[in-house]
Amino acid sequence: MPYLTGGVTATWVDHLRALADAGADAIEVGLPFSDPTLDGVTIQEATDAALARGATVRGILGDITGFTDDVPLVASTYYNLVVRDGPERFCAALRDAGISGLIVPDLPLDEAGEAADAAASVGVDLVLLASPATPQPRLAEIARRSRGFVYAVSLMGTTGERATVAESAATLASRIKGSTDRPVLVGFGISTPQQAVEAARSADGVIVGAAIMRRVLDGATPDDVGADLAKMRRALDQERDQP
Amino acid sequence: MPYLTGGVTATWVDHLRALADAGADAIEVGLPFSDPTLDGVTIQEATDAALARGATVRGILGDITGFTDDVPLVASTYYNLVVRDGPERFCAALRDAGISGLIVPDLPLDEAGEAADAAASVGVDLVLLASPATPQPRLAEIARRSRGFVYAVSLMGTTGERATVAESAATLASRIKGSTDRPVLVGFGISTPQQAVEAARSADGVIVGAAIMRRVLDGATPDDVGADLAKMRRALDQERDQP
Amino acid sequence: GRFGNYGGGYVPESLVAACRQVEEAFREAWPDPGFQQSLARLLAVQVGRPTPLTPVRRLSAELGINLLLKREDLTHTGSHKINNVLGQALLARRMGKTHLIAETGAGQHGVATATAAALLGLAATVFMGQRDIERQALNVYRMRMLGAEVVPVETGSRTLKDATSQAMRHWVGATEHSYYCVGSVIGPHPYPWMVRTFQRVIGDEARGQCAAELSTAVPDYVVACVGGGSNAAGTFAGFVDTSARLVGVEAEGGAGAALGRVGVLHGARSLFLQDGDGQIVEAHSIAAGLDYPGVGPEHAHLRDLGRARYVTVTDDEATSALVRLARTEGIVAALESAHAVAWVIRAAGAGELPPGATVMLTLSGRGDKDVSTLKELA
Amino acid sequence: GRFGNYGGGYVPESLVAACRQVEEAFREAWPDPGFQQSLARLLAVQVGRPTPLTPVRRLSAELGINLLLKREDLTHTGSHKINNVLGQALLARRMGKTHLIAETGAGQHGVATATAAALLGLAATVFMGQRDIERQALNVYRMRMLGAEVVPVETGSRTLKDATSQAMRHWVGATEHSYYCVGSVIGPHPYPWMVRTFQRVIGDEARGQCAAELSTAVPDYVVACVGGGSNAAGTFAGFVDTSARLVGVEAEGGAGAALGRVGVLHGARSLFLQDGDGQIVEAHSIAAGLDYPGVGPEHAHLRDLGRARYVTVTDDEATSALVRLARTEGIVAALESAHAVAWVIRAAGAGELPPGATVMLTLSGRGDKDVSTLKELA
């Protein structure tokens, strides 16, 4: 599942479409917030670029309304933007724009009740995150209450490209899979096809964010980005087809 | 009595001679000290100039040794220079250079014992100063213990030119004259022949320092300075000749 | 952890365990006589507590009131920040942590953290916005002289808000050995509660000193400046159960409590300055310590309850108050604290403070750090 | 007025009456319970006395001794100067004077005088060498903010020595309404004695605190830096009748007590740096407060008696000591005080201080004022 910051460029929807066409299972659309406390420099930069362009939640949702139905979209943002509208209005707006899931990195299990109820009531999946520091009983509870999939944060750190996949990624994914039948997607620090393959071994899928956004910020065209994702898709498919 | 800072210029002895020739009753020779706490800007400047030229007590005394005998010389300096050599050696050196008196503005009556004894033992007059703030019994004691003359400080302030002679000058001179038969000379702030005349009315003479040094610092020749003093001398003589 | 509808722990899952660990350590340490003794001794021999309560005679006479100042400006390092930092640093050491992480705006919390780290033999990493680094160069040097690493933050507005975000990001990757030493009553649970608990020494001391100084024992008004609001929270805690009226004074350009709307930032639900889209707005104040777009959750709650009032003061009013206090009492206050003084002057002039009213005001810090700012204005 | 062969009143006749008036007023005020109460209250509520005695654990462990710091850096305005100034300002008001005159070098005594003047409703005129005005621009602004007039002195070396001379010159013409508030244990009688009397609060407090803190009650060594020597004089006064060895630490370039010769300057016979002709030599120290070519007469006497030792420290040693104390204890000391710390470090390293020796050191002020000086060196 690739990640794209909503509104990062004037033609960001073309990038979105290219990612869909390149074989994304789903796409994470970032709704930019002024203070992205869990993001590393690349997604911070993408966020700043989007906000500088005047991107708003409403504008981004407008841009994607009517987007192709065959690739599910999952919104991700910080909780302040959810609170601003109120969780119910916010989730309803997501659903109206055709978004099926929501990731809120600064909303841990303990604070998620209100948002979970609001999301559920309009049929949006509130995805919860688990981290390598999450202890066992809590991990089970996160897995139980997460909807859509469980987001496995691969390492203790922020989003962003890394040279290698953290060992903690496989451990965490296995621990989550031991607690639930829900799909587990691994994110944070996965940049290359090889890293994706490695991370996917113990999980149901991977999330690639900063690596794509770095390319977009450096001026990559929708075709460029699509080609990158296609490469990763192929690597993952080959791995899966092996015995 | 004119004042001249010793060593202020290379040819300062010529100025000294010009002052003698212009009718000075006596001449006050300043021995420059680095921290002249009772002097105003003009004599500070003269002091700095002399020290910058490398003037020393020993050098100045050497310069004036053998100076004409008919005009008495009175040294003035701060007490640190007296202490440096020890009062006895210091006073002996003054006497050897032909200096007959000593004025030390930061040596009040209460601290003067040692210096007075040393001066007396070599026949140098230690001149004490009285000020408008000096109360009566103390004034009498100063008058009694001063030698040569009593120095009446005309005003509460430092040396330097003023527009008018302070009223306190006449009052103080009269008070001192009421206590002693010793001559009373008025100093501080006396710059012009008119001021000299005014100050001399209640005293036996006046001391003119900053006004002369201002001219010397501005480049006045010995003849210029002699002419200035001669004017003042004439004014004083005319006044005295009046009934 | 909750103050009415405010507070909570809105942190990434990666920090949940770390925050719990801090909470548990604090809950265990606080009632421990050994911890209390260590802290009390540091506050006495290092900080110089108790700080005096100073009756200001000349300004009081001019204003027709009775003004008393709680002198946090006389503490070691020059502001109330040290009270909290020493408590947290002792806690960090007790938890076996070897590093302190902190954010700083004007540099006072950074200097306090660097000081506590040096004193207890810990390392310190202080995040500071690049703009603040330029504005407060001398405090940066003070921190470095104390052995702290000062990390410039180049993101966003490059001020306190962004330094706080960056400190949190850093902590996510360093929870094993590092303790995040939050500088105000902000952040996720247990910080707002814990920081106020460490700062309530101000209010408790002042309460006792007022009882000795005033015939009424309790002042009519208790006033303190509010950025994040730690000196105010600590002060109010000592008087919340009395009849004293509590007044928090914010900078007009950083008035989270007076002008903010409900939101979530840096781990807590509270009041924040934000635009219609929910983006956090940059604060602007001449006082770097008030240059924060939100307020601690307890203040939001006290405002909702009506137990405390939050008012605003302009840069100009604060500057004038600083000069007036200096000229009448010989005290050069921090620009932050001068906001509280400015409100008292205005309120006394407007008759809002009745003649003879007794006012206890916490002077949160000294103004030496602000002299170059004021010099540029002059 | 006399300390053995030193002291006295070597002032122009015009100042004799003024000095007598100060002496009489002080002799009358000091035993007056009303004066004592006023002063004690100001020292408590304005200055923040008593100041703590801080055991420094980490540096002590490194040095193998037991070092205690008397924390004058925690006083209002940041140095011991305020103790003396408040005493003299109260005296001036009692004498009916409306103006304070002061000289200042680094600006600490000037700031203290401006502070006391503001507090008591007096005017203040502070003389400061033009070179010091340039070096200490922020303290100049602090004084002006407090309402004082700062007069640049353009004569001589344009530093403290010349500012002192100029203050005396000004006083000659202003004795009726003005009180000369001397900043150290220098000047004519009664100043060295009176200033030490006002400063002995440091030593008396420290004596009592040592008794509570040390099993031996009295420290083996009592150490303080010496410029004119007021913090040392006040400190030593509390211990002169004990077995403690007294050590005054001077700057190598301003070592009046260690290297000076007998002379008379600024009203007193004492020890001064001078050339063979008796001209006073300029002092040179990185610490502006030690940048004075002489020492108070009582120190000259204590040296002659052998009751106190006077040692010197270089600029580099002082700077290193400042950084080391900051890194180990979280205390940024004034460069002046760092000289005393530097000697302790050197003496402990050289075995001159025996292992386990107890050392009470007066930290005369805080180093905030020196940060820009140090920054330039770095």
CA distance linking residue B224 with residue A69, whole number of Å: 110
Distance, in Å, from the CA atom of D264 to the CA atom of B78, rounded to the nearest integer, reads 9
Tell me whether residues B133 and D175 touch, CB distance under 8 A. Answer: yes
Across residues B46-64, what is the average pLDDT? 96
Label residue B69 by pLDDT band (50, 70, 90).
low
| CA-based nearest residue to D262, from D314, D304, D292 | D304
pLDDT at D374: 87
Predicted complex ipTM? 0.93
> Considering CB atoms only, which of C55, C78, C371 is closest to D142?
C371
Q: Is residue B212 within a helix (H) or strand (E), and if so which, with residue range?
A: helix B210-217
Neighbours of B188 (CB within 10 A): 29
Q: Considering only CB atoms, which chain D residues are within 8 Å of C55?
A: 45
* DSSP 3-state of C246: strand
> Rounded mean pLDDT of chain D?
96
Q: How far is CA C160 from CA C102, C227, D32, in A?
A: 11, 11, 53
Is D151 within 8 Å of chain B by CB?
no
Q: What is the mean pLDDT of residues D271-283?
A: 95
Q: How far apart are CA D120 and CA D113, in angstroms?
A: 11
How confident is residue C365, by pLDDT bands cut at 50, 70 and 90?
A: very high
**Mean per-residue pLDDT of chain C:** 96
Strands (E), B91-137: 101-103, 125-130
Q: Look-up: residue for tokens 């400063």?
A: D199
DSSP D252: G
Task: With a cut of 70, say whether residue A243 has pLDDT above it.
Answer: no
Which residue in C has a C-alpha nearest to residue D377's C-alpha?
Answer: C141
Chain B partners (3+ C-beta pairs within 8 A): D
C308-313 β-sheet, strand order: C53-55, C66-71, C358-363, C221-225, C245-251, C308-313
Contact by Cβ (8 Å): C171, C15: yes
Work out the average pLDDT over B75-93: 97
User: Each residue of D119-148: b (16+ CB within 10 Å) or e?
Assistant: bbebbbbbbbbbbbbebbebbbbbbbbbbb
Tens of pLDDT along D156-185? 888 899 999 999 999 999 999 999 999 999
Which among B49, A170, C107 is positioned nearest to D371, based on CA atoms? C107
Tokens of D114: 């401006």
Length of chain C in terms of residues written: 378
Give the residue on B whose Cα is nearest the Cα of D7.
Answer: B111
For residue D137, the chain C residues in CB contact (below 8 A) are 375
Domains and CATH numbers, chain A: 3-240 (3.20.20.70)
How large is the average pLDDT for residues D246-267? 96
- The residue-averaged pLDDT of A195-199 equals 94
Q: What's the rounded Cα separation, in Å, for the pair A25 and A232? A: 12
**Total residues belonging to chain A:** 243
Catalytic residue among D81, D97, D161, D369: D81
Contact A108 C13 (CB under 8 A): yes
Chains that touch A (3 or more CB pairs under 8 A): C
Residue C292 has what pLDDT?
92
Q: Where residue A69 falls among pLDDT bands split at 50, 70, 90?
A: low
Is C234:C201 a contact under the CB 8 Å cutoff?
A: yes
Q: Evaluate if residue A59 carries a pLDDT over 60.
A: yes
On whether the CB atoms of residues A46 and A3 are closer than 8 A, the answer is no
Q: Tell me if chain C has a CB within 8 Å of the CB of A93.
A: no
Residue D259 contacts residue D283 (beta carbons within 8 Å): no
Per the DSSP assignment, residues forming a β-bridge with D313 are D251
Mean pLDDT score, A87-102 = 97
Average pLDDT over residues C109-123: 98
Residue of D23, D60, D97, D103 with catalytic role: D103
Element (H, E) at B5: strand B3-5
Looking at every residue in chain B, the average pLDDT score rounds to: 95
pLDDT digits (tens, 9 = 90+) for C270-320: 999 999 999 999 999 999 899 899 999 999 999 999 999 999 999 999 999
CA closest to D13 among chain B residues: B108
Mean pLDDT across C236-251: 98
Q: What is the mean pLDDT of residues D34-44?
A: 98
Contact B35 D161 (CB under 8 A): yes
* Reduced DSSP (H G I as helix, E B as strand, rest coil) percent helix, strand, coil of chain D, to 5: 50, 20, 30
The three-class DSSP label of residue D228 is coil
D114 contacts in chain C (CB < 8 Å) = 330
**CA separation for the pair D245, D219 (Å, rounded):** 8
Residue in chain D lying closest to B136 (CA): D17
Q: Give me the pLDDT at residue A34, please.
A: 96
Determine if the peptide bond prior to D50 is cis (ω within 30°).
yes
Mean pLDDT of A77-89: 97
3-class secondary structure per residue, chain A: CEEEECCCCCCHHHHHHHHHHCCCCCEEEECCCCCCCCCCHHHHHHHHHHHHCCCCHHHHHHHHCCCCCCCCEEEECCHHHHHHHCHHHHHHHHHHCCCCEEECCCCCHHHCHHHHHHHHHHCCEEEEEECCCCCHHHHHHHHHHCCCCEEEECCCCCCCCCCCCCHHHHHHHHHHHCCCCCCEEEECCCCCHHHHHHHHCCCCEECECHHHHHHHHCCCCHHHHHHHHHHHHHHHHHHHHCC
**Look-up: residue for tokens 């604070």?**
A111
Amino acid at D76: H
Count the neighbouring beta carbons within 10 Å of the beta carbon of residue C139: 27
* Mean of pLDDT values over D228-257: 97
**DSSP annotation of D273:** -
The yes-or-no answer on residue D329 being catalytic is no
Task: Tell me the shortest Cα–Cα distance from D271 to chain B, in angstroms.
Answer: 11
Distance CA C314, CA C346 (A): 11
Amino acid residing at C194: M
- Helices C160-172 and C13-29: angle between axes, nearest 10 degrees: 90
Cis peptide before C190 (omega within 30 of 0): yes
Q: How far apart are CA A80 and CA D28, in angstroms?
A: 70
With touching defined as 3 or more inter-chain CB pairs under 8 Å, the answer for chains D and B is yes
In the predicted structure, residue D59 carries a pLDDT above the cut 70 = yes
Does residue D97 carry a catalytic annotation?
no
Of residues B37, B85, B142, nearest to D165 (C-beta):
B37
Residue pLDDT, tens place only, D79-128: 999 999 999 999 999 999 999 999 999 899 999 999 999 999 999 999 99
B186 close to B200: Cβ distance less than 8 angstroms:
yes
Q: Give the CB-side neighbour count of residue C187, counting CA atoms within 13 A.
A: 29
Closest CB to D11 among B35, B84, B106: B106
Closest CB to B157: pick one of D17, D173, D274. Answer: D173
Instruction: Report yes or no: B179 and B199 within 8 Å, Cβ to Cβ.
Output: no
Residues 109-148 of C with CB under 8 A from A: none
Chain segment B184-243, per-residue pLDDT in tens: 999 999 999 999 999 999 999 999 999 999 999 999 999 999 999 999 999 999 987 775
In chain C, % of residues over pLDDT 90: 92
Length of chain B: 243
Task: Count Cβ–Cβ pairs < 8 Å, chain B vs chain D.
Answer: 113
**Mutation test of the interface with chain D: which of B33, B34, B41, B158, choosing the one with the most D Cβ atoms within 10 A?**
B34
Helix B113-121 with B87-96: angle, nearest 10 deg: 40
* Residue C220 to chain D, least CA–CA distance (Å): 21
Task: Name the residue in chain C with its Cα closest to that of A128.
Answer: C13
- The helix (run of H) or strand (run of E) holding residue C147 is none
Q: CB distance from D40 to chain C under 8 Å?
A: no
- For chain C, helix, strand, coil in percent to 5 are 50, 20, 30
CB B108 to CB D13 under 8 A? yes
Q: Quick check: D123 and D100 in contact, CB under 8 A?
A: yes
Residue in chain C closest to A108 (alpha carbons) equals: C13
- D344 pLDDT exceeds 80? yes
pLDDT computed for residue D371 by the predictor: 86
> Do residues D267 and D331 make contact, with C-beta atoms less than 8 angstroms apart?
no
Identified catalytic residue from A21, A39, A167, A224: A39
End-to-end CA distance of chain B: 23
Q: Does residue C96 belong to the interface with chain A, where contact is any CB pair within 8 Å?
A: no
In this model, does residue C268 exceed pLDDT 60? yes
Pair B61, B25: CB distance under 8 Å: no
Is the pLDDT reported for residue B68 higher than 80? Answer: no
Among D70, D79, D364, D369, the one annotated catalytic: D364
Give the pLDDT score at C376. Answer: 78
Query: For residue C264, what is the DSSP state?
Result: E
Can you tell me the distance from the alpha carbon of D252 to that of D262, in angstroms, rounded to the nearest whole number? 18
Subunit contact D326:C74, Cβ cutoff 8 A: no
> Given a contact as 3+ CB pairs under 8 Å, which chains touch D?
B, C
B114 touches chain D (CB under 8 A): no
C23, C103, C205, C250: which one is catalytic?
C103
Cα–Cα distance between A40 and A45 in angstroms, integer?
9
What pLDDT does D373 receive? 85
pLDDT at D136: 86
Whether the CB of D166 is below 8 Å from some CB of chain C: the reply is no
Mean per-residue pLDDT, B161-173: 92
Can you give the pLDDT at residue C1? 63
CB-based contact D155 B38, cutoff 8 Å: no
In the DSSP assignment, the letter for residue C299 is H
Q: With a CB-CB cutoff of 8 Å, which residues 87-116 of chain D face chain C?
A: 114-116
Q: Per the structure block, which two tokens stand in for B6?
A: 């010793």
Strand order in the sheet with D2-3: D2-3, D6-7, D268-272, D261-265
Helices and strands in chain B, H and E counts:
11, 8
Instruction: For D144, name the nearest residue in chain C, comparing CA atoms only.
Output: C327
Which of B21, B28, B181, B198 is an active site residue?
B28
Residue with tokens 């001159």: D352
Is D263's pLDDT higher than 70? yes
Give residues with Cβ within 8 angstroms of B46, minimum separation 6: B5, B8, B30, B32, B213, B216, B217
